Structures are given as structure tokens and as C-alpha cells.
């Protein structure tokens, strides 16, 4: 989508600190990190949120979790553990309307979240 920040990052129109890329998925450092490791994993295809996954595009979730598996190991957070979050909609606190999974690690995280 032309006015979507994450589509612009995928299309190299906005720079990012890239962590991982394959043909379906891009991962980059969050610009406002909430933990020592805070990485966003996005499908290259524009999908608004978890609610917009369907029969045609849902296989990207497997691609995303394959990427998360690799990124956790290459970021060195696999041993101590980490959190994967997909904020969705207003109550979920989603601020960017392009499906993304936060990987948060490098410190002990509180539960439940605020």
C-alpha cells in the first residue's frame, strides 16, 4: 500500500536497520526499542493485521515464524527466552496497519502486560 510505513520500508523508500530478509519476510530493528532486542518481523506483502489473514495469504504466518526461529538464534536470545507479540486493533495498541510481530528479548519481561 502506497502510504504504509512498513510497505515503504519493504520497498527501500524508508531506511531500516535490517536483521533478516527472505523472499516473503523482512525483519528490522524497532525505531523505538522497548527491550535490548526489539525486532519487527513483517510480511513483504501488505496485510493489515491478523484479522486480514485468509486462505490465500495465511501461509505467510509459517514463513514469519520460520524467520522468528532464525532471528532468535542469530540475535542470541534463544537461550534466555523472548516474547513474540502481534498487537491488533485499538485495544491491542496497534499503531501501524501492516501486520507485524514484535520480538522482544534481552531482559526479563513483565506479565501481564500493561
- Contacts with Zn ion by CB under 5 A lie at 1, 4, 6-7, 46, 98
Binding span for ligand 5GP by CB under 6 A among 24-32, 51-59, 62-70, 72-80: 24-32
Tell me if 72 sits within 8 A of 78, measured CB to CB: yes
Q: Candidates 50, 94, 106, 109: give the one binding ligand 5GP (CB under 6 A).
A: 94
95 binds, options ligand 5GP, Zn ion, none, Cβ within 5 to 8 A by partner type: ligand 5GP
Measured in degrees and rounded to the nearest 5, phi and psi for residue 108 equal -75, 130
Task: Please choose which of Zn ion, ligand 5GP, none residue 4 contacts, taking the beta carbon within 5 to 8 angstroms, the exact cut-off set by kind.
Answer: Zn ion
Contacting ligand 5GP within 26-55 (CB under 6 A): 28-32, 40
Closest CA to 82 of 62, 108, 101, 61: 108
Q: How many angstroms separate the Cα of 61 from the Cα of each of 10, 14, 35, 68, 94?
A: 17, 24, 24, 10, 18
Amino acid at each position: 500500500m502506497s502510504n504504509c510505513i512498513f510497505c515503504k520500508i519493504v520497498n527501500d523508500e524508508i531506511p531500516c536497520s535490517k536483521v533478516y530478509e527472505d523472499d516473503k519476510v523482512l525483519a528490522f530493528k524497532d525505531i523505538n526499542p522497548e527491550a535490548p532486542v526489539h525486532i519487527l518481523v513483517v510480511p513483504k506483502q501488505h496485510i493489515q493485521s491478523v484479522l486480514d489473514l485468509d486462505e490465500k495469504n495465511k501461509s505467510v504466518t509459517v514463513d514469519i515464524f520460520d524467520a522468528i526461529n532464525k532471528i532468535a538464534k542469530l540475535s542470541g536470545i534463544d537461550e534466555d527466552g523472548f516474547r513474540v507479540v502481534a498487537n491488533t486493533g485499538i485495544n491491542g495498541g496497534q499503531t501501524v496497519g501492516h501486520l507485524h510481530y514484535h520480538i522482544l528479548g534481552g531482559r526479563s519481561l513483565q506479565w501481564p502486560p500493561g
